[in-house]
Structure 1
Amino acid sequence: MNKRIVTFGEIMLRLSKPGFRRLQQGRAFEGNFGGSEANVAVSLACLGEDVEYVSRVPCSAMGDAALMHLREYGVDVSHVVRGGERLGAYYFESAAAMRDSLVVYDRKDSAFYSLKQGMIDWGKTLGGAALFHCSGITCAISRDAMLTTMDAVREARERGLAVSCDINYRKNLWGYGLEARDVLFQLATYSDIIFGDQNEWEVATGLRHIPFTATSAGYEIDRGAYEAYFERASRLFPRCRKMVMAVRNQLASSHHLLSGLLYDTREGRLYAARVYDITPIIDPMGVGDAFVAAYIHALGKWGDDNQRCLDFALSASALKNTIPGDHNLAGEEEIVANVTSLGGRIER
């Protein structure tokens, strides 16, 4: 994209156990930073985009460290609000054999959790931007975080920005009284581009998802079923131009089959990507964020070449599975090369 992209959400301290240790084993943790919208911002910066990240972090050494981390990747943080008591955190335990990965959030009473509606001047923040990206995670954190997100998307629409949202349903975060589906549905109605996996699309739309049962890279999706699904979904969100779905079948904790679908509502046409057979999974965190960032970048570069944009986004998402940490650090050349490499199988 030629103009600035703005993302909004909570950046957290990520504390991971080394190797495949459980949270209760040993005393050491590896520290880094992550968070869905921050991951999107970093990935976009790595792809050469002009990107700004908006959040609230404490006036402390940890808040400074989080912002320094983003600046190191070239992310603009000039409109981040300072205040609150602490930086949110999450604890991560890697998957091993039949044991799934584990995430434990520690976000309550963080600086972002205590964000109040009106603290961010969206008119000033969004001036000169081309696209605003947010996610359902932010709407789940607190009522005020949800209201602030809705203020942002309304301001973005009034200013003519494209609005991108990732449904990003996290059931354990919703706890302030509103139903997740009602909020996520409202967020999606403002959006030009909607992202989500098959389960998240079901939450936002109420439409039962189509099972993705791939066991190899040669799997063929039921195009007719997905076309019918998205045609129904498009009636719910008439403003949306691009509906994007990542689909995954987890054969084992470190063996996943991954693909993607894109429905162009103006064309009334479905696009499907190839299936990636990925083993072993090095780190599953941020895989969806890598997909989102790569798609936004591709859309700005290649426009309505829908198949090319989808293939690029899925390739980035597949590569992220091989990179430790929250961020996808793959560049455009590597992502493009991966689109046609190894017959869809990634091994390390």
Structure 2
Amino acid sequence: MIEFDPAGKGVLCFGELLLRMSPDAGGTWLNTHQLPCFLGGAELNVATALSLWEIPVTYFTALPDNILAEQLKNSIAGKGIGTDKILAQGERVGIYYLPQGTDVKNAGVIYDRANSSFATLQPGTIDWSAVFKGVSWFHFSAICPAVSASAAEVCLEALKYASANGIFISLDLNYRAKLWQYGKQPADIMPGLAAYCDLIMGNIWAAERMLDIPIPLDFQDKTKAEYLSQAELSSREIRRQFPKCKVIANTFRFDAGEKGVKYFTSLHTANGSYHSATYQTEEIVDKVGSGDCFMAGLIYSINQQKPAQESLDFATAAAFNKLFIASDATSTRAADIYDSILPHEKK
């Protein structure tokens, strides 16, 4: 079992709320005057899943003081997510455009989030004691410090307060190539933030890019056993460099055929290493939010004080299930996810 005492308190997810516009690849939306819009952002996707799975969760972000922001907050609150800590400041909501069927890591993504309410957050302006009241777990992602230098400073403030007050901290090493435009590279910022974290999720390539955890040159086209072995080596090095970190999770998602996906994961703690079954499909609906769903699955399971292997199996099944849902966040209940878990397999 991964040691964590929720103590009757909830999870706080911190990040930028985004509107995802999804035009069809052929441009038909220009003639039909219909452009699909999804409410998202990595940390909000996590919060949405946790609320669905009946984990008390609050979302903290910054939004402008206008009617659009009120509609967004009402939508979030309607999902059972706490919105009372959302800060009213700044002038705009972040937007990104992603053609249907592509990935946020794909070059086709277009960001329109400069000078958003979240990007213009300033250190020294937030009452962290109020923000963290009633919180036992704090979650954020590497997207937060990527949007602006001031947002990175605010992340550090939050982490220092949470760590000093015994709050469990999780980090998703999300890498977005089109962010980090303010003169810093991820490896300049992320190690200083990771030092405060109890759980770090990502993969071996993200750990190399963001935390300077080395992997062999051109480490591609390997067997599952080879990937899992490297994940164990990288995870040990993370725990050595960041001794506060208790849990490291790695996800491996590869294209399989023209539209398919092959997916498996691993988990590493002081008590041992674990891995999931391999999930595979010939066609998916939406890649967006799958990693967020995996992170939510870990938070959910650890809050439920499940054993490490069970926690990993639930998170993996949840993430794979998300690939078949056309939105940023999952809509699948926990009981159905448990029913979809594949039998464990050897390397």
User: TM-score, structure 1 length as denominator?
Assistant: 0.89
Q: Secondary structure at the match of 1:190?
A: coil
Please provide the CA RMSD for this pair. Answer: 2.2
Counterpart position of 1:243:
248
Count of residue pairs brought into register by the alignment: 332
- The match for 1:39 is 45
Letter in 1 for 2:291: G
Q: In structure 1, which of residues 109, 129, 133 is the aligned counterpart of residue 115 of structure 2? A: 109
Aligned to 2:259: 254
Q: Which moved more, 1:107-116 or 1:202-211?
A: 202-211
Aligned twin of 1:309:
311
CA distance in 1, matches of 2:81, 2:71: 14
CA distance in 2, matches of 1:158, 1:136: 21
Residue of structure 2 equivalent to 1:263: 268
**Does 1:319 pair with 2:321?**
yes
In percent, how many aligned pairs have the same letter? 27
Structure 2 unaligned regions, length at least 5: 1-5
Letter in 2 for 1:258: Y
Matched, 1:228 2:233: yes
Contact 1:287 1:320 in 2 (8 A): yes
Equivalent position to 2:291, from 281, 288, 291: 288
Is contact 1:93–1:101 with CA below 8 Å preserved after alignment? Answer: no
Of the three residues 177, 180, 183, the one matched with 1:177 is 183
Contact map agreement 2:23 2:29 (CA 8 A) in 1:
no
| Residues 12 and 34 in structure 1, CA contact (< 8 A), matched pair in contact too | yes
Aligned-pair CA distance for 1:22: 4.6
Relative to structure 1, the CA distance from residue 176 to residue 253 in structure 2 (aligned partners, 3 Å threshold; closer, same or farther) is: farther
Inter-partner Cα distance in structure 1 for 2:146 and 2:227: 33
TM-score normalised by structure 2 residue count = 0.89
Separation of aligned partners in 2, 1:234 and 1:47 = 30
> What corresponds to 1:50 in structure 2?
56
Does the aligned pair in 1 maintain the 2:16–2:43 contact within 8 Å? yes
Q: Which of 316, 335, 338 is the matching residue for 2:337?
A: 335
Tell which deviates more after alignment, 86-95 or 156-165. Answer: 86-95
| Aligned residues of 1:122 and 1:152 also touching (Cα < 8 A) | yes
1:272 alignment counterpart: 275
Q: Displacement of 1:33 after TM fit?
A: 0.8
**Cα distance, 1:69 vs. partner?**
1.6
8 Å contact 2:256–2:282 — kept in the other structure?
no
- Aligned residue for 2:287, secondary structure, equals coil
- Corresponding position of 2:85: 79
Select which of 141, 156, 163 maps to 1:157. Answer: 163
Structure 1 pair 327–253 and aligned structure 2 pair: CA distance change class (3 A)? farther
Deviation of the 1:228 alpha carbon: 2.6
| Stretch of structure 1 that moved more, 206-215 or 8-17 | 206-215
**Residues in 1 aligned to 2:76 and 2:236: alpha-carbon distance in whole angstroms:** 39
Decide whether the 8 Å contact of 2:289 with 2:328 is kept in 1: yes
Quote the offset at 1:302 in angstroms. 2.9
Amino acid at match of 1:125: V
Residue range with higher mean Cα deviation, 291-300 or 181-190: 181-190
In structure 2, do the counterparts of structure 1 residues 142 and 22 end up closer, same or farther at CA, with 3 Å as the change threshold? Answer: same
Preserved contact between residue 23 and residue 93 of structure 1 (Cα < 8 Å): no
The 5 Å alignment of 1:120-135 reads: 120-135=126-141
